[in-house]
Amino acid sequence: MGESTVMTGNGPRAFFSGGLEASQPAFDSIPVIDFGPMRGDDPAARNAVGEAVRNACTQVGFFYARNHGVPQAIIDATFDAAHRFFDLPLDRKQAISVEKSDAMRGYTPLLGENTDPENKGDLHEGFDLALDLPADDPDVAAGVFGYAPNQWPDGLDDFREPLTAYHGAARAFGERVFRAFALALELPEDFFLPKITKPMAHMRVLHYPDQSTATEEKQIGIGAHSDYECFTILCTDDKPALQVLNSAGEWIQAPPIPGAFIVNVGDMMARWTNDYFQSTLHRAINQTGKRRYSIPFFFGVNSRETIEVLPSCQSQERPAKYAPITAGDYIRSRFDDTYAHRTGDEA
């Protein structure tokens, strides 16, 4: 078993490599948090959610969120739409290639992304969308990174509507997660809300072909990486694939829990909190013998927002580790390091 290094947006992260398998211990290490109180009027109950989130974000970097408030009908319609889109012929999907959008909207083919620079491309295909803004939006017209119209496939009925509905519902839940993060950091509950009035809330629907016979460690569903934004809200079908790096440097399975989202800290929030909240390395390997689909929703702040270590997360003994940077510039740098058409490495 050798040690490998993944370069993240906040610097190199090491883990031990040793095949594609992951151990399956009891999952007491990844907590399940009931988010129902974040829709209620009881401050004590909301503070309890904040405390649970703080423990999860400082000790694990991942948690399951129950009672998230996103209707199952919206989730089911989005998965159905994803199945129909990925069943289209390749030329119809390539007509809305992500290469046509500087803001990374549209279709990414198999191996078009490479989250781990040491690997040979990620074995999934995806469709990306975010806030659907018109061309005459002031930020779109000014070229502010992260703001653009979405690309939508022609001739595919009942696709745009369910994905747009899911984006809105996930954004609403994400605002509750931001409120819980604020409570976890002992900030005013509404601290982050002015910073997400026009968020870089990037959503993907992903399709993973079966990799049950794979022997190539350098070409898996998604290579080892940490996410870029403040946090990710992940919804998956019932096929397990997600693996999370635990504190012992071992890959452990993070199986789907019916009715729960998986939430994890991203690099942007790690920077904001001076690594008090940890972004955790993870990867996905579909060895189920079936096709797998997932919906990650990457919640960042407004593009022009400056990410600067919070005063409460630094001290003389623990000075700020990261220089201020705008959210848009940070995300652009991470896209440039990940996508073949932006790196110039399309071999």
Q: Where are the domains of the chain?
A: 26-343
pLDDT digits (tens, 9 = 90+) for 76-112: 999 999 999 999 999 999 999 999 888 889 999 987 7
pLDDT digits (tens, 9 = 90+) for 151-172: 999 999 999 999 999 999 999 9
pLDDT digits (tens, 9 = 90+) for 320-329: 999 999 999 9
Residue 337 has pLDDT above 90, yes or no: no
Written out in words, the top-level CATH class of the domain with range 26-343 is mainly beta
Residue 248: its pLDDT value, please? 75
Q: Which secondary-structure segment (H or E) carries 132?
A: none
Contacts of 2 (CB under 8 A, 6+ apart): 16, 17, 18
- CA torsion sign for 325, 329, 333, 338 is positive
Distance, CA of 144 to CA of 114 (rounded, Å): 25
Residue 45 has pLDDT above 70, yes or no: yes
Q: What's at 112, amino acid-wise?
A: G
Q: How many residues can be counted in the chain? A: 347
Distance, CA of 60 to CA of 245 (rounded, Å): 9
Q: Is the pTM of this model over 0.85?
A: yes
